[in-house]
């Protein structure tokens, strides 16, 4: 393992899963330090032996860590890290990364101050979340075979980028590198748009007739699952990646217009071609199920 002392900031679903995954993967040989706002989840991780040290004091947790992973909401990352930087608790050459689902704003907020403090910032995004939240749902195998996007900039230290990528691979992720800008455009397609669409389906189907859900089968459940994600978190994500999400929604709106025309005008051939194209694209990725 490339890191001997890792600090995880915020033991929610992703952060708690990281604590448990690192502890399991290293067989306890890596010192895992955990910061959280509340004592209860910290005590839980202490009791199970996954956390070597856990505290509500950010500077204490960061002390001597060669890797810090920020696993809280995007908007809280800068404020959470500031006490560490102000106290001079960032070890020389330490690497800071994150798990945020938007990268442009995160990199803009954190790269410069971390560099000025003598460390390295490299953005990363494991595509491993769920509609659940909190430590109760954290699991050591959350990252196994998950995609993880590493988002270096033109000024990133190559060695730090390599170490962050190796860290995620060590946890079982499949990794890819891309710029923060390309990342935000990509996840607007495969993560942010699906969440919006799932929410729209729920509202269109149930707002005027909530009792219809009594008769829903697996298709409705699977299509709308991600709409159960935390509204506070998703409000922040969608606003942080607003421009890219707007572009995807404009495309979705245009496709909805096509479907309306096919049905209104009974254009059977066009409707069949549309549905066949969507089926082929999905089957190419996931196969027939």
Residues 114 and 207 reside in one and the same domain: no
Residues 226 and 170 reside in one and the same domain: no
Query: Of 178, 211, 232, which one is at a domain's C-terminal end?
Result: 178
Residues 100 and 226 reside in one and the same domain: no
Residues 80 and 155 reside in one and the same domain: yes
Look up residue 120 and give its two tokens. Answer: 């390295």
pLDDT digits (tens, 9 = 90+) for 129-164: 777 788 989 999 999 999 999 999 999 999 999 999
Residues 232 and 93 reside in one and the same domain: no
How far apart (Å, rounded) are the C-alpha atoms in residues 229 and 267? Answer: 37
Model confidence, pTM? 0.92
Query: Of 126, 160, 178, which one is at a domain's C-terminal end?
Result: 178
CATH number at residue 125: 3.40.50.720
The pLDDT of 184-190, averaged and rounded, is 97
Residues 138 and 10 reside in one and the same domain: yes
Residues 146 and 9 reside in one and the same domain: yes
* Helix, strand, coil share of the chain (percent; to 5): 55, 10, 30
**Percent of the chain scored above 90 by pLDDT?**
95
Domain of residue 141, residue span? 5-178
- Say yes or no to pLDDT of 67 above 90: yes
Number of domains in the chain: 2
How far apart (Å, rounded) are the C-alpha atoms in residues 97 and 104? Answer: 14
Give the closest residue to 90 by CA, choosing from 110, 120, 135.
120
How far apart (Å, rounded) are the C-alpha atoms in residues 149 and 122? Answer: 11
Model pLDDT, residue 130: 74
Residues 191 and 173 reside in one and the same domain: no
Residues 104 and 133 reside in one and the same domain: yes
pLDDT digits (tens, 9 = 90+) for 216-242: 999 999 999 999 999 999 999 999 999
Query: Of 155, 178, 201, which one is at a domain's C-terminal end?
Result: 178
Residues 203 and 125 reside in one and the same domain: no
Residues 148 and 65 reside in one and the same domain: yes
CATH number at residue 272: 1.10.3660.10
């Amino acid at each position: 393992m490339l890191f001997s002392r890792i600090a995880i900031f915020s033991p929610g679903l992703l952060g708690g899963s990281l604590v448990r995954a690192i502890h399991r993967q290293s067989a306890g040989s890596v010192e895992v330090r955990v910061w959280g706002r509340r004592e209860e989840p910290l005590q839980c991780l202490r009791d199970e032996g996954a956390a070597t040290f856990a505290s509500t004091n950010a500077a204490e947790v960061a002390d001597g860590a060669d890797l810090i992973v920020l696993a809280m909401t995007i908007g809280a990352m800068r404020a959470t890290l500031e006490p560490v930087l102000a106290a001079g608790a960032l070890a020389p050459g330490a690497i800071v990364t994150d798990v945020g689902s938007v990268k442009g704003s995160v990199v803009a907020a954190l790269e410069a101050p971390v560099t000025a403090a003598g460390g390295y910032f490299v953005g990363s995004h494991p595509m491993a979340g769920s509609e659940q939240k909190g430590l109760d749902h954290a699991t050591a195998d959350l990252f196994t075979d998950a995609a993880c996007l590493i988002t270096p900039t033109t000024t990133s230290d190559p060695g730090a980028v390599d170490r962050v990528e190796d860290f995620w691979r060590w946890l079982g992720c499949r990794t890819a590198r891309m710029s923060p800008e390309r990342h935000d455009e990509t996840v607007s397609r495969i993560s942010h748009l699906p969440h919006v669409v799932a929410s729209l389906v729920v509202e269109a189907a149930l707002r005027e007739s909530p009792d219809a859900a009594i008769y829903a089968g697996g298709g409705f459940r699977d299509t709308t699952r991600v709409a159960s994600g935390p509204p506070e978190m998703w409000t922040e994500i969608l606003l942080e990646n607003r421009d890219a999400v707007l572009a995807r929604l404009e495309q979705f709106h245009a496709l909805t217009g096509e479907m309306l025309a096919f049905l209104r005008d009974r254009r059977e051939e066009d409707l069949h071609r549309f549905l066949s194209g969507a089926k082929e694209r999905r089957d190419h990725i996931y196969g027939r199920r």
